[in-house]
Amino acid sequence: MLNLTLTFLVVALIATFLGFSGIAASAAVIAKILFYIFIVCFMLSVLLGLTKRV
């Protein structure tokens, strides 16, 4: 999932340099959403991993 976030971030940066502001904004929003989903999944896996060991 982090790979998708980085891919959309790169697409947003390239689109910005080429002048496609609509595509850049959309890709940046998607990257931001995927990043937050990744963070939530990571935190859940850490918490579940800590509780299983006890």
| Contact assessment for residue 1 and residue 30, using Cβ atoms and an 8 Å cutoff | no
Q: Phi/psi at 30 (nearest 5 deg)? A: -65, -40
Banded model confidence at residue 52, pLDDT cuts 50, 70, 90: confident
Domain that holds residue 6: 2-53
Read off the pLDDT of residues 23-47 as tens digits, 9 standing for 90 and up: 888 888 988 999 999 999 999 999 9
What global pTM score does this model have? 0.71
Name the domain count of the chain. 1
Read off the pLDDT of residues 5-29 as tens digits, 9 standing for 90 and up: 888 888 888 888 888 888 888 888 9
